[in-house]
Amino acid sequence: MSEIDSKANIILLVGGSGLIGRHLQKYLESKGYEIRILSRQQKPARDNYYHWDSNTGYINKSAFIGNPIIINLSGENIATYWTTESKKRILQSRILSIQTLKNNFIKERIHSPLIINASAIGIYGDCKENILDEDSAISRKDFMSEVVAQWEDEADTLDPFCSRLIKIRIGLVLSNESGVWPKLLIGSIFRVLNWFGNGSQYYSWVHIDDLCRSIEFLIRNNSNSGVYNITAPKPVTQKTLIHSISKVNQKVYLMFGIPAWLLRLVVGEMSQIVLQSQRVIPKRLQSNGFHFQYEDIESAIKVLLKK
């Protein structure tokens, strides 16, 4: 399909100011979609920005004109020290955004052609070397997996308000702009690279471009609904990722592991994000015909290092 349906070319982005939201807005606009952004600013600076406040439940109803597709990426950043208060914010920010949308759907009698709600592969918990797909059991045994499970449970309540509901379990997003990739390269200026623990834990990654392409793929194909893992087909161990940076860059680095006990001492419970192993594959995306531009880690690293 080369042309988008003019009746379904309006997309309302919730949580559009983050890394994924910014890239997704640019990508979808380049494909001809009209993008609207929900903003927490009382007087949004741009015409396509609409005020909302999940704490009060308010959304400017003009955002819903034309019955847009809705993509909800809203949620507190998890890359912070986890205190009782911050953990509460991480969960509530995800739940409240969905409840605010739902209450406004009821109020304005909205029935969207498609709602895409963000999720995360953290729902699977620590699975060592086991290969995981959309049919694999979820965990709920630690904070992160429980948060994502509750996030998806709440997203399911949006089903009556749309023709299609999709939950995208996003992996480790690689982008030069922000996120984990720049952090991995912090020591590279001194020819130092490191992994965490013994480095045998699997990272299920995805290049930001493939993430945006896969979301548009899900939008365009009307038969798609339910849960989709958005990760590259070839997850790698943390140690392999670090060695691949050295190989692609054709430079010699001092490479070593930071002990798990030290990481736990410094960042506490949040260390589970980098110490857990999640070997996730995008079975449903691929079986539905999506082709990744960056299937293996070296192809992604080559592009990231060029920019």
pLDDT in tens, 60-78: 999 999 999 999 999 888 8
pLDDT single digits (tens) 145-176: 999 999 999 999 999 999 999 999 999 999 98
**Is 1 within a domain?**
no
- Which H or E run contains 27? helix 19-30
Mean pLDDT by 10 residues, the chain (307 residues): 52 90 94 92 76 92 94 90 93 95 95 96 93 93 94 96 97 87 75 87 96 96 93 96 88 83 90 91 96 95 86
Rounded distance, CA 31 to CA 9, Å? 10
188 in a structural domain: yes
Q: Specify whether the CB–CB gap between 279 and 202 falls below 8 A.
A: yes
Query: What pLDDT, on the 0 to 100 scale, is given for residue 190?
Result: 76
Contact 137, 185 (CB under 8 A): no
In a domain, 2, yes or no: no
pLDDT of residue 213: 97
Any domain includes 246: yes
Note down the domain range covering 123.
7-306
The encoded tokens of residue 132 equal: 């995981």
Tell me if 270 sits within 8 A of 82, measured CB to CB. yes
Q: What is the pLDDT of residue 254?
A: 80
Q: What is the largest CA-CA distance in the chain?
A: 60
Q: Is 162 helix (H, G, I), strand (E, B) or coil?
A: strand
CATH number of the domain within which 15 lies: 3.40.50.720
Q: In the block, which residue shows the tokens 């592009």?
A: 303
| Domains contained in the chain, number | 1
Domain annotation covers residue 158:
yes
Q: Residue 278 in contact with residue 132, Cβ under 8 Å?
A: yes
Q: Can you give the pLDDT at residue 38?
A: 92
